[in-house]
């Protein structure tokens, strides 16, 4: 199956600025965002949506949001994205190892 190649550094100024806005702190951009950044207008639009979906204004609690994301990733076979969310958010939202495993 063909895959869209990830954008590799060095990034253009525009792509670098977008990727920097998409990641917290000094974290390097994850593969998903590097793939989105191949299409700057699309990635810029998705960034606004993502800020809402991953932000504090969402009507779900952070824990509910993570359970939905983790379960969706598991059902779709998105191991990479599931792993990113487990590493980044599971402890923050109080998911135990057993609860995390039950989402798969």
Mind listing the pLDDT tens digit for each residue in 14-24? 999 999 998 87
- The reply to whether 6 falls in a domain is no
66 shares a domain with 49 = no
- The answer to whether 103 and 74 have CB atoms below 8 angstroms apart is yes
What's the number of domains the chain is made of?
Answer: 2
The two three-digit tokens of residue 38, written as one number = 């191949």
Enclosing domain of residue 82: 62-102
pLDDT digits (tens, 9 = 90+) for 39-95: 999 998 988 887 787 777 888 888 998 999 999 989 988 888 899 889 988 999 999
Whole-Å CA distances, 45 to 15, 76, 92, 97: 13, 24, 27, 34
pLDDT for 32 equals 83
Answer whether residue 5 is part of any domain: no
Whole-model pTM above 0.85? no
* Whether residue 44 is found in the same domain as residue 68: no
């Amino acid at each position: 199956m063909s895959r869209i190649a990830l954008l590799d550094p060095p990034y253009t100024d525009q792509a670098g600025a977008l990727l920097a806005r998409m990641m917290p702190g000094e974290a390097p951009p994850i593969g998903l965002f590097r793939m989105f950044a191949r299409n700057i207008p699309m990635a810029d639009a998705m960034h606004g949506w993502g800020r809402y979906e991953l932000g504090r204004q969402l009507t779900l609690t952070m824990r509910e949001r993570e359970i939905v994301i983790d379960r969706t990733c598991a059902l779709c076979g998105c191991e990479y994205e599931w792993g990113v969310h487990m590493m980044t958010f599971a402890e923050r939202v109080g998911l135990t190892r057993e609860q995390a495993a039950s989402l798969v």
